[in-house]
Chain A
Amino acid sequence: MDWEEAKLHADQVRKLGIQQLLDIWKRYRGNERDVLLWGDEIEYLVVSYDEKNKNARLSLRQEEILEALGRLEREQKETIAKRKAEDPNYQSEVPPKFHPEFGRFMLESTPGAPYGGNWSSLLTVESNMKLRRRLAKQHLGEHEAPITMTSFPRLGAEGIFTDPYFPATGSKSRSQYLPDELINLHIRFPTLAANIRSRRGAKVAINMPVFYDVNTPRPFRDPTVDYDRHLYPEDDDVRRGAVKEGHIYMDAMGFGMGCCCLQITFQAKNMSEARTLYDQLAPLGPIMLALTAATPIFKGFLADVDVRWNVISGAVDDRTEEERGLKPLKNSRYKIPKSRYASISTYLSEDPRLRPEYNDPNLVVNEDIKKELLDNGMDERLATHFAHLFIRDPLVIFKETLESSPEGLSDHFENIQSTNWQHMRFKPPPPGDSIGWRVEFRSMEIQLTDFENAAYAIFIVLLTRAILSYGLNFYIPIDKVDENMHTAHAREAIRTKKFWFRKDIFPPLHQHAHFSTSTTPSPTPILPPPLPVEDEYTLFTINEIINGIPPNPKSNPPTPGFIGLIPLIEAYLNTVNIDVETRCELSDYLDLVGKRASGELMTGARWIREFVRGHTEYMGDSRVGVGVNYDLVKAVEKLGMGRGGEVTGSEKLLGKWKGRK
């Protein structure tokens, strides 16, 4: 349905969605003792080289590639089934899965089966990622390669950046830069792009600050904007001031949804643990975004940011002018402060450590939905969370789904839920399956190599175990998480910026201990009165958060120091039974994360930026030309394929090249 028609059904979809949510919640709220299962999602760009013209482009062969990979998966499964029939003891890994993504130049891969909570499975993460990359590579043409770059440097730049070439004239995006042909052909995706534009009443407008290099003209006015195009009514956007001075201008969903991310999903033992993990990981979102920074180039220009986040946020911002607060509310229901793609706006755990002050008192919620959830017995915080997600309209509606029974399904619920692209996602069990309550950690940028991707994935997994074991408390007011998200964008945020973080992350002494020495039940331990909320957190560098601050008893007043997340994980590893070889491999991963935080190793963003600035063809004018892009993509491909030894300067990114398997 196009937007004019879809919006008439929005309330109906929300109503059905809430009905489905309540069914799921009632059915699975009592889930207990689900084991730890987790998985990663790796997204790839498929590049196609034009060796004659030394150009690296995006390959638009997604359907053929996925078809081939799907065939492979089916064949492998059949072989395994056959072997199993012959030998019941035959053990085999489940073949990895590949999925379509928004961009027709993208692939997404997941392990065939989730990883478990045992140590040996952690050591299969990197090899599984490598296997997936190899499989993808095998199903590409000679001139094609999968790379794990967040954003294609010359996406939307002048000249040819897709294979095959298409002019940017499509009616779905109506973009000056991106042809509709680079959108996944499934009807859902072009409709999504068109409906976001229609709902908004204009094209999306993304402005990222340019990196002023020595020869960049000042002030920078994006030279690639065509103010004279009269193809669509939205061409007026640029004439009405959509372009900001000093910024790189982008005007289509593809700029954001064409980015690759590293996402991790965990299964929790029950709903309550999932809610705890959701809340505790939320303040880490911006920290991990800055730590994984890998996106310094947009549309062929070096940007003054290192991460992708705001580009995606702007690329799917379907809010009307009224919702954005530019006009008084008349046709729209709410003023909404953030895009659908943004950091979370409310904590949702029933943890007593969640002080009411941490949440936003002005949170926008759909009051009718909240009331319905409360009337059905859902608690205040969870009801608030979903009532907040349900302020959004469904963007893509398929008529046939409105006509069939919603029972036993989650499609309408997911229509709203999965188009709320927040940095954490709280995932109820899919109906009819044995999967439990899950939490998805979504802020990290994809890394150039699987070593790095495995390192960050494993870091987060280990961190969740430490959070649960030690009962850690990372709560800070939610608006400080937003502020950190903003800070994380800064170029070299790791080396130059400070982030809000909680000072004392441990539970108060004896909160859980009961040393009853008499026959009467022990009274609740007397806790010191809580600090004012503003005294609970302060500004830290990423290095301090990750590697810790030693206490200084000699300073005045004495400072208690801060443990640091890596020492904390190490303390956890020292508490559990873990074999020598696993421990050593995990040390390599923690080492990488620690050295990125300290600045000893470069982030992907810094490495890419320095690669460009050090390239002989770069003119110091912020422009990343075809030749520079070609060499960069080639280098990135080598890094990804485990041939980093051939890439000059790879040790600045990865440390001593270990010739990893």
Chain B
Amino acid sequence: MNNLHLRVRGRRVADITTGTTEKNERTEGADRRAGDASGSADEGFEGFTRELFGGRPGYFCTYLVDLLARQNRNTCRDFPPSQTYHLRYPHTPQSPPTMATPAPAPRLLLLRTGNIITSSLPPPNPTSSTSTELLTTLLTTLQHARSHSPSSWTKLLPTGTLLAPATLSPTPPSLSESRDAYDLTVKLFYLPNVPSEDRNQHTLDAVKLVCEVLGVGRIDLLNVAFPGVGFDAEDEVPKDTIAGAQQEEEGEVDEETKSFLATYSTLESLVHSNLISRIGLSEFGSSRLSHLLRGLGFSPSITNTPTTAAPSSTVNTTSSPPTRVRPSVVQINVRDCCVVPRELIHYAKREGIQLLTHNDSGEVLTAPGLQRVISESGIFESTSTPKATVVPLWVAKYTAVVRDRSVVENKGYIAMASIR
């Protein structure tokens, strides 16, 4: 896995992202009426199968990227499939796979809901917690897919990824207007007990999959939520935060911040490759935020020491490496009341960071919850391991809001789990 991470973080990710981005721009330009996309959802998978069976085992971690390449072809009629194929994969094998090959055991499970904003609000209401909403809508989606086409509602990719439902992009296309009309937000929940070094790959997967589902090449805001990071108004001891940060200025970066920084560099690379425009951090109080900003090399913007203050707090100055990207947003939970400490409000303002609200529940997806969805929907029944257990890896929640009208047009979830 580590080997692959390097690839992802290195040159290859740039190639991949550039390729995908270009194609998506074309996709956006194309007329995306319902009829266009309905043609051959399966075709992409066939091509993909061929490719993988042709002797590129070990390319496990790029499965999604390959999948995306194939899928894009289907929604983009003015882009000849063969061209995509050869541009991207000059060493394509010639021989198609034989379907007699025994199916491998699924190793990863990729789940998605449809657009839940109008289609499957969980009864009784859409105010239920995030985890209830996710589980209910996943189950509804899966049950619906199953009743709709009982024989082909899940799809096992030769890479070992089980897709449920079997297609990634719903038809008709998800967005009815041009890309620019929308504010697209993804909230990525990294889940507990998943090695933090896997987050880089998970982030890339999540963003690309959401792009694919929505048929776009770029997300406006990616909020990331780390497990165990909870904003607690009482934690915010005003003065200490800044003072503490100053004291530690010369010292070591703490372990937690180190791990955030490692993930953060992936987020930055997504900004550089234009897959996302802005970065958001969920539940960061001023202490965590100041540690992170310092770790990123941004001078703290302390207003009470004007003589030594950094030239500007809101733009990348020369004091920071030019590739560093400031977080734009901190998302905090204000479910009950508006007890946001003044200190945080002022700190965020100084740092040019927008404070946005959310009301997501702490544990968005647990293994038992997911297990229940799996057994109730019967995803594993047709696989070679009907009794498999799962460990959820990440959850991505996405929303598409029509900017000029503040209408939420699309909302959904994608979740990935490993299968044991």
* Chain A residues with a Cβ under 8 A of chain B: 33, 35-36, 116-119, 269, 465, 468-471, 506-507, 509-519, 521-522, 548, 551, 560-563, 567-568, 570-581, 583-584, 587
B332 contacts which chain A residues (CB < 8 A)? 580
B172 contacts which chain A residues (CB < 8 A)? 514
Q: A518-B149, A521-B38 are in contact. Are A575 and B167 (CB under 8 A)?
A: no
- Assess whether A506 is in contact with B121, with CB atoms less than 8 Å apart: yes
Does B387 sit at the interface, judged by CB under 8 A?
A: no
Q: List 11 A-B contacts (CB under 8 A).
A: A469-B118, A510-B119, A510-B120, A510-B140, A517-B41, A521-B38, A571-B127, A575-B411, A576-B406, A579-B357, A580-B345
* Alpha-carbon gap, A513 to B117, bound state (A): 10
Q: Which of B1-9, B12-20, B96-104, B177-185 forms contacts with chain A?
A: B177-185
* Alpha-carbon gap, A563 to B338, bound state (A): 23
* Alpha-carbon gap, A514 to B118, bound state (A): 12
Within 8 A of A (CB), among B36-80: 38-43
Q: Which of B86-94, B298-306, B314-322, B397-405 forms contacts with chain A?
A: B397-405
- Assess whether B334 is in contact with A519, with CB atoms less than 8 Å apart: no
- Assess whether B406 is in contact with A465, with CB atoms less than 8 Å apart: yes
Tell me the smallest distance from the CB of A591 to a CB of chain B, in Å.
Answer: 10
- Assess whether A580 is in contact with B171, with CB atoms less than 8 Å apart: no
Which of B39, B119, B120, B408 sits near A519, CB closer than 8 Å?
A: B39
* Alpha-carbon gap, A514 to B115, bound state (A): 9
* Alpha-carbon gap, A78 to B181, bound state (A): 35
Does B153 sit at the interface, judged by CB under 8 A?
A: yes
- Which chain A residue has the least Cβ–Cβ distance from B177? A33
- Which chain A residue has the least Cβ–Cβ distance from B185? A577
A521 contacts which chain B residues (CB < 8 A)? 38, 171
Does B152 sit at the interface, judged by CB under 8 A?
A: yes
Cβ contacts B350-368/A at 8 Å (1 or 0 each): 0000111111000000000
Which of A471, A522, A570, A584 sits near B118, CB closer than 8 Å?
A: A471
Tell me the smallest distance from the CB of A472 to a CB of chain B, in Å.
Answer: 9
Which of A119, A515, A581, A587 sits near B165, CB closer than 8 Å?
A: A515
Tell me the smallest distance from the CB of B183 to a CB of chain A, in Å.
Answer: 7
* Alpha-carbon gap, A215 to B199, bound state (A): 77
B181 contacts which chain A residues (CB < 8 A)? 33
B95 contacts which chain A residues (CB < 8 A)? none
Does B123 sit at the interface, judged by CB under 8 A?
A: yes
- Assess whether B124 is in contact with A551, with CB atoms less than 8 Å apart: yes
Which of A119, A519, A567, A572 sits near B42, CB closer than 8 Å?
A: A519
Cβ contacts B100-138/A at 8 Å (1 or 0 each): 000000000000001101111101111100000000000
Within 8 A of A (CB), among B386-418: 399, 401, 403-409, 411
- Assess whether B152 is in contact with A518, with CB atoms less than 8 Å apart: yes
- Assess whether A513 is in contact with B126, with CB atoms less than 8 Å apart: no
* Alpha-carbon gap, A560 to B167, bound state (A): 33
- Which chain A residue has the least Cβ–Cβ distance from B397? A575
B177 contacts which chain A residues (CB < 8 A)? 33
* Alpha-carbon gap, A516 to B183, bound state (A): 26
Cβ contacts B270-287/A at 8 Å (1 or 0 each): 000000000000000000
* Alpha-carbon gap, A581 to B401, bound state (A): 20
- Assess whether B120 is in contact with A470, with CB atoms less than 8 Å apart: no
Tell me the smallest distance from the CB of B166 to a CB of chain A, in Å.
Answer: 5
Tell me the smallest distance from the CB of B188 to a CB of chain A, in Å.
Answer: 15
Closest 4 CB pairs of A and B: A584-B338, A35-B404, A513-B119, A471-B118
Q: A517-B152, A579-B354 are in contact. Are A470 and B117 (CB under 8 A)?
A: yes
- Which chain B residue has the least Cβ–Cβ distance from A469? B408
Interface size on B, residues (CB 8 A): 60
* Alpha-carbon gap, A661 to B183, bound state (A): 32
B185 contacts which chain A residues (CB < 8 A)? 577
- Assess whether B153 is in contact with A517, with CB atoms less than 8 Å apart: yes
Residue picked from B119, B153, B338, B404, most chain A C-beta under 10 Å: B119
Which of B39, B40, B121, B405 sits near A470, CB closer than 8 Å?
A: B121
- Assess whether B405 is in contact with A36, with CB atoms less than 8 Å apart: yes
- Assess whether B127 is in contact with A570, with CB atoms less than 8 Å apart: yes
A469 contacts which chain B residues (CB < 8 A)? 117-118, 407-409
- Assess whether A507 is in contact with B345, with CB atoms less than 8 Å apart: no
Q: A469-B117, A519-B42, A575-B399 are in contact. Are A567 and B148 (CB under 8 A)?
A: no
- Assess whether B170 is in contact with A517, with CB atoms less than 8 Å apart: no
A511 contacts which chain B residues (CB < 8 A)? 118-119
- Assess whether B409 is in contact with A583, with CB atoms less than 8 Å apart: no
Q: A522-B148, A560-B123, A583-B357 are in contact. Are A516 and B167 (CB under 8 A)?
A: yes
Does B221 sit at the interface, judged by CB under 8 A?
A: yes
* Alpha-carbon gap, A567 to B127, bound state (A): 7
Main secondary structure of the interface of A (DSSP, over half): loop
* Alpha-carbon gap, A518 to B41, bound state (A): 7
- Assess whether A567 is in contact with B125, with CB atoms less than 8 Å apart: yes
A587 contacts which chain B residues (CB < 8 A)? 337-338
B357 contacts which chain A residues (CB < 8 A)? 573-574, 578-580, 583
- Assess whether B406 is in contact with A513, with CB atoms less than 8 Å apart: no
A519 contacts which chain B residues (CB < 8 A)? 38-43
Tell me the smallest distance from the CB of B302 to a CB of chain A, in Å.
Answer: 22
Tell me the smallest distance from the CB of B198 to a CB of chain A, in Å.
Answer: 27
Does B420 sit at the interface, judged by CB under 8 A?
A: no
A561 contacts which chain B residues (CB < 8 A)? 124-125
- Assess whether A580 is in contact with B149, with CB atoms less than 8 Å apart: no
B114 contacts which chain A residues (CB < 8 A)? 510, 513-515
- Assess whether B407 is in contact with A468, with CB atoms less than 8 Å apart: yes
A518 contacts which chain B residues (CB < 8 A)? 41-42, 149, 152
- Assess whether A513 is in contact with B338, with CB atoms less than 8 Å apart: no
Q: A514-B171, A567-B127 are in contact. Are A581 and B345 (CB under 8 A)?
A: yes
- Assess whether B124 is in contact with A563, with CB atoms less than 8 Å apart: yes
Query: Apart from A470-B408, A517-B41, A579-B354, what are 15 other A-B pairs with CB-CB below 8 Å?
Result: A33-B177, A36-B405, A468-B407, A469-B117, A510-B140, A513-B144, A515-B145, A519-B39, A519-B43, A548-B125, A571-B126, A574-B359, A577-B221, A583-B334, A587-B337
A562 contacts which chain B residues (CB < 8 A)? 124
Which of A36, A516, A563 sits near B404, CB closer than 8 Å?
A: A36
Tell me the smallest distance from the CB of B134 to a CB of chain A, in Å.
Answer: 14
A522 contacts which chain B residues (CB < 8 A)? 148, 171
- Assess whether B119 is in contact with A517, with CB atoms less than 8 Å apart: no
Tell me the smallest distance from the CB of A121 to a CB of chain B, in Å.
Answer: 10
- Which chain A residue has the least Cβ–Cβ distance from B149? A517
Does B374 sit at the interface, judged by CB under 8 A?
A: no
Does B419 sit at the interface, judged by CB under 8 A?
A: no
B152 contacts which chain A residues (CB < 8 A)? 517-518
- Assess whether B144 is in contact with A510, with CB atoms less than 8 Å apart: yes
Does B141 sit at the interface, judged by CB under 8 A?
A: yes
- Assess whether B126 is in contact with A470, with CB atoms less than 8 Å apart: yes
Does B340 sit at the interface, judged by CB under 8 A?
A: yes
* Alpha-carbon gap, A117 to B401, bound state (A): 11
- Assess whether A584 is in contact with B153, with CB atoms less than 8 Å apart: no
- Assess whether A580 is in contact with B118, with CB atoms less than 8 Å apart: no
* Alpha-carbon gap, A33 to B409, bound state (A): 14
- Assess whether A575 is in contact with B408, with CB atoms less than 8 Å apart: yes
Residue picked from B152, B183, B329, B407, most chain A C-beta under 10 Å: B407
* Alpha-carbon gap, A579 to B329, bound state (A): 10
Tell me the smallest distance from the CB of B377 to a CB of chain A, in Å.
Answer: 13
- Assess whether B356 is in contact with A512, with CB atoms less than 8 Å apart: no
* Alpha-carbon gap, A518 to B152, bound state (A): 8
A117 contacts which chain B residues (CB < 8 A)? 403-406
- Assess whether A571 is in contact with B125, with CB atoms less than 8 Å apart: yes
Tell me the smallest distance from the CB of B94 to a CB of chain A, in Å.
Answer: 25
* Alpha-carbon gap, A521 to B40, bound state (A): 10
Tell me the smallest distance from the CB of B143 to a CB of chain A, in Å.
Answer: 10
Tell me the smallest distance from the CB of B310 to a CB of chain A, in Å.
Answer: 24
- Which chain A residue has the least Cβ–Cβ distance from B114? A513
Residue picked from B149, B153, B165, B329, most chain A C-beta under 10 Å: B149
Tell me the smallest distance from the CB of B362 to a CB of chain A, in Å.
Answer: 15
* Alpha-carbon gap, A580 to B43, bound state (A): 46
Which of B38, B221, B406 sits near A516, CB closer than 8 Å?
A: B38
- Assess whether B140 is in contact with A509, with CB atoms less than 8 Å apart: yes
A116 contacts which chain B residues (CB < 8 A)? 404
